[in-house]
């Protein structure tokens, strides 16, 4: 990813566009074929010369073109024929964004595989499901991971769509009128570069495309932040159900040797904020003045490379976290017991309703017994059995059957089947 966004690759991408344009001009008979072939064979740039010329000229495109002309003879006059700066820059940026998207898609595929493996491994690992940070009803850890997997698959589809949206070029000349660059040339150049054509551009490609790409990156970052936040909670000392891998020789604190902090997950969460900030800038870049201004350019030189680099890093790191995640099933079971069985409250309520009790009346009975269990630190099985309305409707044996953790996970296989994992 660093190579994609290097200065060397930026100018190499510019050169691809310039060579393709000269070749297309030759196809249309406007440039001698021999000259076009010489340019294709010999056109070069030197990064140090471009930088030196730019300090003098204060215009990066003209500095680049000057360096390219240094490598050519008389045929160099055909380079940049009829073009304006963004006829080169926008297709070149699209090339690099596509390259970056392909790296990110490979990263997402690796994360998808890692989550799939761990979800299957823990398909039947019982743990407490929580809502509002409180014990709700049991789930399995595999089901939690399966939910992540489904979201990652959606992220892949979103990035594929954003990649398609950004994979377009434009060579329409100043203000997009095609006066100096006919549409036929634009189509030929974009085809040579493997890009689609922006149907109607101004002097630049409309920045809603770039905003779509960076918003997609930010949304993927938000997914990673959600997953990482979950691990951070599960790693808390009071919970202790799972933790990110801690390598031999790693140290968690400068002062407290016992610490194993979720610092990698915290890093993911912090960088997700950067991605959202960059996406906001991309949205603000959409509203350019008239046929173009340059307010987007300086920001894009930061937000596009930085977002791609950050997400590439986050995906690689979080894939390692998932692959090495340490899971503590016994602690999950122990934690399920700390609320003394109140997680079966809905089962008892439904049983009372089936026995003819109104839902509202049954709710009050079960709620009272549940709160007594928590407040008095007694088993819910005991407090609910003391309720006269329950004694009238449920035998002790019937009550016992309601306190079965596996009831809550009996449909988990069907969720896995929905994601095509039933036979694994």
Catalytic residue set? 132, 253
For β-strands 126-131 and 134-140, DSSP reports them as: antiparallel
**Could you tell me the sign of the dihedral formed by the alpha carbons of 321, 323, 329, 330, in that order?**
negative
**Could you tell me the sign of the dihedral formed by the alpha carbons of 13, 198, 285, 157, in that order?**
negative
Distance in angstroms (rounded) separating the CA atoms of residues 117 and 315 = 16
For β-strands 134-140 and 168-169, DSSP reports them as: unpaired
3-state helix vs strand vs coil in the chain, percent to 5:
65, 5, 30
Q: How far apart are the first and last CA of the chain?
A: 34
Half-sphere exposure of 198 (CA within 13 A, CB side): 28
The DSSP H or E segment spanning 326 is strand 326-327
Using the 8-state DSSP alphabet, how is residue 339 labeled? Answer: T
Half-sphere exposure of 315 (CA within 13 A, CB side): 28
338 by Cβ neighbours in 10 Å (0-12 / 13-18 / 19+) ranks as exposed
Closest of 20, 31, 12 to residue 87, by C-alpha:
20
Segments of 202-306 assigned E as strands = 242-243
| Two structure tokens written together for 380 | 């819910």
Distance in angstroms (rounded) separating the CA atoms of residues 126 and 123 = 9
Closest of 128, 125, 123, 146 to residue 138, by C-alpha:
128
| Two structure tokens written together for 139 | 């789930």
């Amino acid at each position: 990813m660093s190579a994609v966004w290097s200065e060397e690759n930026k100018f190499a991408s510019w050169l691809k566009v310039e060579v393709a344009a000269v070749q297309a001009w030759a196809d249309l008979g406007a440039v001698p074929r021999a000259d076009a072939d010489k340019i294709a064979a010999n056109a070069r740039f030197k990064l140090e010369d471009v930088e030196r010329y730019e300090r003098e000229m204060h215009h990066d495109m003209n500095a680049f073109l000057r360096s390219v002309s240094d490598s050519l003879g008389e045929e160099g006059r055909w380079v940049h024929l009829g073009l304006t700066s963004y006829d080169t820059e926008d297709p070149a940026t699209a090339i690099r964004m596509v390259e970056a998207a392909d790296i990110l898609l490979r990263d997402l595929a690796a994360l998808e595989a890692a989550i799939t493996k761990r979800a299957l491994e823990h398909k039947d690992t019982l743990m407490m499901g929580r809502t509002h940070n409180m014990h709700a009803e049991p789930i399995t850890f595999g089901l939690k991971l399966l939910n992540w997997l489904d979201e990652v698959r959606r992220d892949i589809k979103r990035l594929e769509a954003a990649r398609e949206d950004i994979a377009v070029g434009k060579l329409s000349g100043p203000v997009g009128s095609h006066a100096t660059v006919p549409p036929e040339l634009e189509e030929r150049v974009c085809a040579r570069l493997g890009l689609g054509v922006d149907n109607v551009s101004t002097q630049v490609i409309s920045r809603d495309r770039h905003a779509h790409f960076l918003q997609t990156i930010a949304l993927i970052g938000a997914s990673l932040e959600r997953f990482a936040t979950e691990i951070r909670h599960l790693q808390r000392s009071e919970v202790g159900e799972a933790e990110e891998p801690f390598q031999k020789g790693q140290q968690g604190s400068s002062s407290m040797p016992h610490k194993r902090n979720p610092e990698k997950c915290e890093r993911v969460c912090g960088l997700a904020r950067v991605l959202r900030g960059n996406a906001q800038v991309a949205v603000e870049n959409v509203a350019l003045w008239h046929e173009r201004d340059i307010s987007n350019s300086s920001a894009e030189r930061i937000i596009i490379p930085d977002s791609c680099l950050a997400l590439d890093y986050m995906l690689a790191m979080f894939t390692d976290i998932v692959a090495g995640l340490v899971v503590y099933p016994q602690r999950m079971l122990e934690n399920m017991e700390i609320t003394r069985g109140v997680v079966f409250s809905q089962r008892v309520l439904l049983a009372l309703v089936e026995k003819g009790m109104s839902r509202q009346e049954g709710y009050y009975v079960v709620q009272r017994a549940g709160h007594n269990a928590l407040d008095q630190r007694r088993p819910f099985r005991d407090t609910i059995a003391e309720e006269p309305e329950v004694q009238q409707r449920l035998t002790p044996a019937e009550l016992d059957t309601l306190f079965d953790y596996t009831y809550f996970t009996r449909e988990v296989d069907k969720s896995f089947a929905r994601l095509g994992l039933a036979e694994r």
